[in-house]
Structures are given as C-alpha cells and as structure tokens.
Amino acid sequence: MKLYIAKNEGAVGKRIALDDMILTKDLPTAAGSRMLDGYMSLFDATVVEKAMAAGYAIDGKLNVGEFGIDLMGETSYYGAIATDGHLVSAAAAAIEDGATAVLSLDVNGAPRRAAAQSGTVCVKPTYGTVSRFGTVPAACSGECVAVTAGTAADCEALLDVVAGYDAKDGTSLPDALRGEAKPIRRVAVLTALTDGVDAETVARIEAAKAALSKNGIEVAKIDGGELIAARVAWNILMSAELCNNVSRYDGIKYGYRTPSYKTIDELYTNSRTEAFGAFLKTVILFGSETLSTDTYMKVYDQALRVRRVLVEYFKSLFETVDAVLLPACSTCAYEENVDPELAFTENLYTAPASVTGLPAVVFGGVQLIGDAFSDKALLQLADLCEKEGK
Amino acid sequence: MKYETVIGLEVHIEMATESKIFCSCSAKFGAEQNEHVCPACCGMPGMLPVVNRHVVDLGMNAGMMLNCHINRTTTFDKKSYYYPDLPSSYQTTQWFAPVAVNGTVTIETANGKKDIRIKQIHMEEDAGKLVHDDWTDTTLVDFNRTSVPLIEIVSQPDLSSAEEVVAYLERLRSLLRFAKVSECRMEQGSMRCDVNLSVRPEGSDKLGVRTEMKNMNSLSAIVRAIEYETARHIDALENGTEELVQETRRWDDIKGKSFAMRNKETAGDYRYFPDPNVMPVVIDDAWYDSIKASLPEFPEVKRARYIDAYGLSEYDADMLTQSRALCDCFEAAYAECKNAKEAANWLISDCMNILNKSQKTADQLTLDGKALGELILLVLDGKVGRGNAKKILIAMFDEKLDPAKYAEEQGFIVSNDTGAIEAIVKTVVAADPKSVADYKNGKEKALMALFGKCMRELKGNCDPQVLQKLLKDTIDSL
C-alpha cells in the first residue's frame, strides 16, 4: 500500500500533489501500471508548468488505478490504498498530509467518487478549458484534469491557475469562450439517478437541497432518466479509446519488456500479458471488439450518437434550470476487495459529465453538473453551501 | 477466351511541407537517423497532435488539381496496427471524411484519351523506416519519416494496362509537381504505389479475384509486376494452375515474381475510429478560395499558350512544361525581356547544362527569372557579349545578383570605341599574314581564326558584327 509513488521531499510552501496520470520530468510517472513502472517523461504536463509558475510546489505523485479507469485506485500495480477494509481516497489523504490541492486525470469519475466519499471538493472542468497536454492518454474524448481540495475556494484558486488555452492541445478552447461565471439560481434534482443509492447518500442529497434552498436557490425535481444512457455510451467510448491509447506500449521503445521472447509477436504479447492487470485487459478486449469492422456501426457509432443526443438533452434542460444535482456514487464507501468491474456500473453518476464534456463539481458528498463554462459558478455555489454547513 | 485486366491504384505521395503533420519536426528527406524526432512523432504518452495547416492546404490543392469535390468539414481517424515502425501503434489518417472525393484524371496513351475516376484523396502520417542488418541479424528503426505528411490518392478500378498505369502515374506526378504538392520522387520514396489487380473475361461486368501488390516505387518494376500478375491470373483461370485468392502480394523485382504475403483471413482489422484529439477541420470560403486562386495552369494549357501566344516551337514548349520551376522562371524572364525564344533557349540549353553539371533536376532551379530577363536584354542590346553573359549566368546560380552591375564590376561591358577595336584588329592581322593569305584564297575558316584572336584580345567585350565588319574592311584594304 503506497500513497505516494514518488515524493518530492524538498517541496515547501503551497504544495500540491499530482495523481500518477500527470507526466512530470523530475518524478517518474507509472499511470498505476507495471508497464510504465519507473517511466521518466521528457516533459512536464502543461498543468504542472502552470502550477509551478504560479508558485505551487509539486509534493509528489499519488497512487492511481491502472490508467485511471477504476473505482478508486484498487487496480494499481502498487496496490490499493485502504483502511478498515475500505478503499481510501489518495487525494484526501494527501490533503490531510498538508497538500493544498490535488490535480488528477478524471477518466472514469474516480476523482469525483473519491471526493464524494472523503468529503472533499472536486471540479471536473468543462472539456477543453484545461490542457490535457502531458497527461497519460486513456479516454481522450472525455477525460479532463480535475482539481480536488479541502475547500471550494482552494479548488477554484488552483483551477484559475491551470485553466486556459494551450496551443499544444488541439482540443483546447480559446479563453474568450470561458467568460464570466453566471450565478446559479435554479437547480433540479435528477430523481432517476437518486434511486438505488444507499441511505447515507440519500441523506447527503437532502442536506444539499436544504443548503441550496437556504442560499435562495430554487430547487426543483426532474426525472432525467435519459441520462442513464450515458453510462453505456461512455463505457464503449472509453474502452475503445483506451484500447487504442495503450496499444503504444509494445515493449519496443520504453516501458516494460518481457525477458522471454523469440519473435516480435512474442515480444509484444508477452510484454503486454505480463505488464497489464486483469481489469485493464478486460477493458482492452471490450474496446477492441467495439471497434472491429463487424460491430463498429452497431456499437461504437451508436455510442457517438448517444453522446450527441445527451449534449442536446442537457442543452434543453439548461433552458429551464442552471444545474442538476445528483450523487457521484451509489455508496459512501467501497470494500477493499471490491470487483473493479463495478466501475462500469458506478459510473452511472459520473458518465453524464464525462460523455458530454460538461463541468461537474462534487461537494458535501453530492454532485452538481452545470452548463459549459459554468465551472466557477458551480464552485462558488459549493462555497456558499459549505459555509452553510458550518 | 480473351481477358481484360482491371487495375486500381493507391498512390502515396509525401507532401512538400517544412514540418511534419502533427508536430514541428522537420519533414525533410536525408537527415541522419532519428535526427528529426520528438516525443510526439515517437508516440510517447502525453503528446497531443496539432494539425499542420499547410498540410490541409496541400491536400485541398491536390484535390482541386484532380477535379475532386472538397469536403468542407474533413476529419482525422485512427487506424490501429502493430509494427515496430509505427511508434504509437496507430496511424492518424482519414477514413470517414477525407479531404477530397470524386475526381477525375485524364490520361493519354496510344489508344487516345481516357478519364480515370478518383475515389478519394486522404491525408495521413507516414510510418518510420526499418533497416534490416542481415549480418548481425538485427533490425534498427529510424523515426525521421514518422508523421511526415502523405496524401493517398485512391483511384477507381478504371485502368486496364501497364501502359495506362504509367500514363496515370506520370500525369499525377506532373500535376502535383506543378501544384507544388510534392516532388513525387519515386527513387526517394516520396511517391509509392499499391497496385490492385484482377482479370476477367473481356466484356464481363463482374470483377475477378483481386490481389494487391504493395509499396511499388519504380515505373519499370510496376510494368513488370502488372505483366507478371496478369499472366499469372490468366494462367490460373485458363489452366487451373492455382486457385486465386484475395491477398496481398510482394513483388520481387530481381526474381521477377510476386509472392503471397497475407490473405483475407490473416489480414488485421484496422479498427478505424475518429481521433478525438484532432478537431474536425472546417474549410471556410476564404480558405477554399485562397487555395483555388493559387492553383497553377495545367501543364498542357501552359504548353498551348507558349506555342500560340509566345510562338515557341513544340519542342521548346514541351521542354519548359516538364517542370513548374522552368515555367515560372521562363514567364518571369519573358516579362522582363519580351523575347520568348531567347528566354526559352537560355533555360533549355544553358540553365539545364548548369543544373546537369551539379546533378540537379529542373525542379531544383532557383534562378531569379527577372534577373535572367535582364541578362538577356544586356545581350540583345549588345551591351554584353554572349560568352561573357554565360559566365554571368553561372555566377547567378551561385548568388543573387544584378546582372548589369555584375557585368560592370567584372569588365564585361562591350566597348563602342571603334578606334580601339581597329587598333587591335590591325595588330592581329599584322601578326598573322598566313591566315590573311588563306582567307584571301577563299578559306572562310581563316577569317574565323582571326576573328577569335581579336575577340580574345578584346576579352569578349565587343559587338561581334562590328568586329566582323572592321576585320573584313581591314583585310580588304591591305
């Protein structure tokens, strides 16, 4: 069990930790995989450069599930982090340890689940507003660099530093689009996505509703059952992109190479067989299948269509409300030996924002999804509700 | 039974860009191994592709030259396969919305003109190069070529002979060189070709079993390969020598045979999908129009204009329209000196000689056409002798210079001082009574010898007609 995969003991001042999907040239980056154990990047991620330029010191690299796609780090090559038989948020542990905030790559909702279960604040920003240059690619069409902190204010401060146009990321959006944050006045609870969660999560939703109302926010209810489709769509897109992105790890140029091979095919096969974990292999196989000539139109193309429908659905929703409220996960804690495949169902709550690129903020154990570029407005609302709770 | 051959081509052409398609590494040929590489074109995690806009310019340019429809929203897709020369294990290419579709290329053979339909033109990145060392039994990889921008031109199966294939490839090469899309140098691998071939009974509308020969890079090898494959297919159909299967074959030009590489069953599934890291490229009217406006005249249109408007011979027009660089230089020189025949002669003989000596092709001509026109004017106005003008031309290949100024510096300006010329003529004539006597006895050659001696004494700075007259007058007066 390892919280830090690599630690910068000399870090002083405002310290931030990075999850191990974010590349650094002075500290190794393994992405939770044996494949990249000890890998040294030739460059820093843009978010790292920006944070350092703003005076943040890099505290170290936090343990992460293999390529960031699991529930909460349980598939890491370096072992899951757990106490009392339950998985623990690495980001929350680092914050407890003195870090001001944590940057992590939100591929499949893990940072949001971790924030919900540890009582921290996490923002998964609008897709394209924070550069992905220098993050280990997993599911590029939806993953974003997320910020986790003890308070909404700390979260917003670091988001302000790392956000902005980056010419090195072809999907980076011009700064002019971000504009001023419109305040959020109307929030709708998504009832279809609060069915089936545990009692404590229901209680957190109720507490959040009360805090919102006290702050003069109009709280309504809508079904939102359409958003259930986001989960399957994201599972298809994520698996396919991941399968393609990890195909570069072939044991030829860098990363793990098997000691036993005679032919080039054996070199590929044995290196990947020995270095990748079981859950990752499941996802690779599933992703590969969705892209095969026979299934592409029936599966992958349908997922792209669902993505488009969901973007339109949110657009119509945001004509009447400013944000939606929903859980970030179904339970307040995962068992230490949980089946990682649960990540394919638990992302029911995180996939809507991943698949549409919309911003999501987790605070007080619940999640708000707002319109594109409402990141700061969501954080400011979270800040008000936090103060209410105290 | 009579058979006909059905051929479709996939032609890969490296685009003439300074940098690679998704990173800023140089795309130039001929560097030391792995000199033009960075983490992006080596497929390292964390790098993201940023589209080189000039690649899209050239893609559109090629599409327009081949009469294609340009897709105003064009997208990039990933094609996955494992090979050590492909560092990211996927190639970024265009599968769903290529830059150009539905074009035509007109070819001309002994049988007349024929339109070959173009299915599509797509832009993609090249792979690296593997160097096999049989001696040490190792394979080394050179990533210089990785991510060098390519276009792939896919034809419909409209070609029916090796002769047509050669005419088609030469036509593509001519058009794309004129549009400055690529130098199309097969020997450097900047033009490569996959040949898809099948054979069917003449008049049948059903296609036969197709085989594909990949990476052909010489016209003569393509001709031999097509002839061999056609004979092999016909033999199989006529005599049942073998069962034809859809497969990829390798052409061995030394053995003069093709060999099976992989068939449909063992072929990989490329698992194409849209590349989420490359946003769709939207070509607006301003961009489209600027490319349209930059297109050159087709070579045959230029050729006709050179003959009709400039009065050049067919030979001269053919020679010049071999190369866009020659045409550009010719047109600039003509604009200056208004003498097409002179401009053509200087380019076709003198300039080509200089290029040949330094083993360069016409496309590598960098001579300033306006300066050439100025030089021609100096000669036509009798200010510089032809011999000296050639010396100036050689100097103009080495550096950009003003011919008039240079002629003055070098003492190449023709003298109009007839007294000085006459004095030299008298000295030369007096020193060579034998030539004078020979000339007077009817030997014209003797006069040429005397003329040459005078020219040497005058360092070439004399109007030949003036000298000729003075020389004759001097001898006659003896």
DSSP string, A12-53: -SSEEEEETTB--SSS---TT-GGGTT---SS--HHHHHHHH
Residue A152 phi, psi dihedral angles, 5° rounding: -65, -35
Point out the residue among B43, B88, B277 whose CB comes nearest to the CB of A170. Answer: B277
Asked if the structure places residue A267 within a domain, the reply is: no
pLDDT at B116: 98
**Strands B100-109, B112-125: pairing kind:** antiparallel
| Distinct helix (H) and strand (E) counts, chain A | 12, 13
pLDDT at A48: 98
pLDDT at B54: 95
Chain A neighbours among B 119-148 (CB < 8 Å)? 141
**Cβ pair A170:B271 closer than 8 A:** no
A390 pLDDT band, cuts 50/70/90, is low
* Higher per-residue confidence, B416 vs A303: A303
ipTM of the complex: 0.94
Instruction: Give strand ranges (E) for A50-171.
Output: 57-62, 82-83, 86-87, 101-106, 121-124, 144-149
B269 pLDDT band, cuts 50/70/90, is confident
Q: Which is nearest to A73 in space by CA: A28, A104, A39, A52? A: A104
Q: What is the extent of the structural domain holding A206?
A: 4-228+307-389
Beta bridge partners of B111: none
Chain A neighbours among B 24-43 (CB < 8 Å)? 39, 42-43
Nearest-Cα residue of chain A relative to residue B278 = A170
Rounded to a whole number of angstroms, the CA Rg of chain B reads 30
Q: Is the pLDDT of residue A179 over 80?
A: no
pLDDT at B133: 86
Mean pLDDT of A334-356: 96
Domain count, chain A: 1
Residues of chain A neighbouring B42 (CB-CB closer than 8 A)? 253
Q: How many Cβ atoms sit within 10 Å of the Cβ of residue A199? A: 9
Asked if the structure places residue A281 within a domain, the reply is: no
pLDDT at B386: 87
Distance (Å) from the alpha carbon of B270 to chain A's nearest alpha carbon: 8
* Residue-wise pLDDT tens digits, B322-344: 899 999 999 999 999 999 999 99
**Cβ pairs A/B, distance under 8 A:** 89
- Report the C-alpha dihedral over residues A68, A69, A70, A73, rounded to 10 degrees: 0
**Strands B3-14, B211-216: pairing kind:** unpaired
| Mutation to test the A interface, candidates B51, B146, B277, B282, most A Cβ within 10 Å | B277
Q: Is the pLDDT of residue A378 over 80?
A: yes
Is residue A203 helix, strand or coil?
helix
Q: Percent of chain B, pLDDT > 90?
A: 69
Domain assignments of chain B as residue spans, ordered by start:
3-282, 297-410, 418-476
Point out the residue among B39, B48, B51 whose CB comes nearest to the CB of A169. Answer: B48
Q: Which is nearest to A106 in space by CA: A380, A384, A369? A: A369
Q: Which is nearest to A379 in space by CA: A28, A125, A165, A139? A: A125
Asked if the structure places residue A115 within a domain, the reply is: yes
Of the options 1.10.10.410, 3.20.20.70, 2.60.40.10, 1.10.260.40, the CATH number for the domain spanning B418-476 = 1.10.10.410
pLDDT at B264: 65
pLDDT at B443: 85
Q: Is the pLDDT of residue B301 over 60?
A: yes
Mean pLDDT of A20-25: 97
Beta-carbon contacts of A176 under 8 Å, excluding residues fewer than 6 positions away, are: none
Q: Is the pLDDT of residue A389 over 80?
A: no
pLDDT at B475: 85
Region of B80 please: left (phi>0), alpha (psi -120 to 50) or beta: beta
Beta-carbon contacts of B342 under 8 Å, excluding residues fewer than 6 positions away, are: B376, B379, B380
Q: Which is nearest to A116 in space by CA: A380, A363, A390, A344? A: A363
* Residue-wise pLDDT tens digits, A253-291: 899 999 999 998 999 999 999 999 999 999 999 999 999
| Distinct helix (H) and strand (E) counts, chain B | 16, 16
Q: Which two tokens stand for residue A38?
A: 């000890």
Point out the residue among A134, A240, A247 whose CB comes nearest to the CB of B46. Answer: A134
pLDDT at B429: 84
DSSP state, B351? I
**Cβ pair A41:B271 closer than 8 A:** no
What mean pLDDT, rounded, does chain B reach? Answer: 92
Q: Which CATH number is A130's domain given?
A: 3.90.1300.10
Quote the longest CA-to-CA distance of chain A: 70
